[in-house]
């Protein structure tokens, strides 16, 4: 069976509820759980506890799940702090964690209101490249690592703990630069794609970069991510996609669903049988690991959909 990592937006401080979700995901056959990271917009608390704190709790209350960030915003934490947090989680979880890093997809206001220095997307990409190089460097050079960049400078920096470093993931969406960085530094590319052909094209490019950097092509493996909206019939599916508020005049439910598919070709939308058919196509093309973003994916609402996906859609 393929491996499925369940992204979970933890929007509650009821950590007993979050633990029950994770334990049920384990029973249902999910391979792992990922917790994302965003910060509050001005004057609007997000309700999200720190991702590493949540994952540390899950390390103590689950037995088999791989636990990781999906994704940590590498441009809001110093890379040395990120690396030490990731290594601590990996050791405390018995070696069943991963560190997925993202550039940081928050709105400009999310960055500027907190004083995060890399407000624009271009600034974040530049800082992300240095952070990724540093985290990889720290993971490989445990006796001390030095780095001199435009953003960061390290002088014989050493991680707090010994032991194996967790796999480094890079989250990518529509960015050739991120594919290039993933090929150079990552163990896993967590990529959006419209279908198997595009996924193969992206991985071929990233692996060619890996080879040029002196790595084996097999050093970089794919985990494919898709937004997934599934319901048991067309009426429920249309409502889940926002039919009541987003339909055009005279547009029926079937036409509306088809339009939603066309407007977001990276999403997988349909009944459980249709969704399963999509994943069967990826498996037939040689892909084995997925991180389906089941919508809605907040802690209070994901329970029904994680059950439906596990029982009807997993290949």
Domain holding 258, by residue range, is: 233-265
Query: What per-residue confidence (pLDDT) applies to 111?
Result: 85
Same domain, 294 and 258: no
Could you tell me whether strands 145-148 and 153-157 are parallel, antiparallel, or unpaired per DSSP bridges?
Answer: antiparallel
Query: What per-residue confidence (pLDDT) applies to 121?
Result: 85
As averages over each run of 10 residues, the pLDDT of the chain (315 residues) reads 96 94 98 92 90 97 97 93 98 98 85 85 92 98 97 97 97 94 98 97 98 96 98 96 96 97 97 98 98 94 96 98
Tell me the per-residue pLDDT of 302-311, one tens digit each, with 9 for 90 and over.
999 999 999 9
Q: What sign results for the dihedral spanned by CA atoms 189, 190, 196, 198?
A: negative
CB atoms < 10 A from the CB of 212, how many?
11
Same domain, 113 and 240: no
Same domain, 120 and 165: yes
Same domain, 184 and 78: yes
Same domain, 113 and 242: no
Structural domains in the chain (count): 2
Same domain, 159 and 254: no
Same domain, 156 and 135: yes
CATH of the domain at 46: 3.20.20.30
Query: What per-residue confidence (pLDDT) applies to 108?
Result: 84
pTM over 0.75, yes/no: yes
Same domain, 98 and 245: no
Q: Give 144's contacts (C-beta < 8 A, 6+ positions apart).
A: 156, 157, 158
């Amino acid at each position: 069976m393929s491996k499925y990592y369940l992204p979970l937006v933890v929007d509650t401080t009821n950590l007993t509820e979050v633990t029950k979700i994770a334990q049920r995901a384990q029973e249902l056959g999910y391979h792992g759980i990922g917790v994302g990271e965003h910060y509050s917009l001005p004057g609007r608390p997000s309700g999200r506890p720190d991702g590493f704190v949540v994952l540390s709790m899950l390390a103590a209350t689950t037995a088999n799940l791989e636990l990781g960030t999906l994704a940590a915003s590498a441009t809001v934490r110093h890379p040395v702090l990120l690396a030490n947090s990731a290594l601590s989680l990996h050791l405390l979880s018995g070696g069943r964690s991963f560190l997925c890093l993202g550039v940081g997809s928050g709105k400009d206001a999310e960055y500027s209101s907190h004083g995060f220095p890399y407000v624009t997307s271009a600034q974040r990409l530049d800082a992300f490249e240095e952070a990724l190089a540093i985290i990889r460097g720290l993971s490989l050079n445990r006796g001390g690592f030095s780095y001199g960049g435009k953003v960061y400078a390290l002088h014989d920096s050493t991680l707090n703990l010994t032991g194996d470093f967790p796999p480094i993931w890079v989250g990518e969406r529509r960015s050739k630069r991120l594919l290039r960085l993933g090929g150079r530094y990552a163990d896993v590319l967590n990529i959006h794609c419209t279908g198997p052909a595009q996924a193969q094209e992206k991985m071929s490019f990233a692996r060619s970069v890996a080879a040029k950097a002196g790595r084996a092509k097999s050093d970089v493996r794919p985990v494919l991510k898709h937004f997934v909206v599934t319901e048991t019939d067309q009426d429920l599916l249309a409502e889940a996609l926002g039919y009541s508020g987003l339909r055009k005049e005279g547009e029926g439910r079937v036409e509306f669903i088809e339009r939603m598919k066309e407007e977001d070709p990276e999403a997988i939308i349909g009944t459980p049988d249709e969704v399963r058919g999509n994943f069967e196509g990826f498996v037939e093309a040689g892909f084995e690991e997925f991180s389906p973003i089941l919508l809605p994916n907040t802690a209070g609402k994901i329970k029904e959909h994680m059950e439906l996906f596990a029982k009807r859609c997993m290949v």
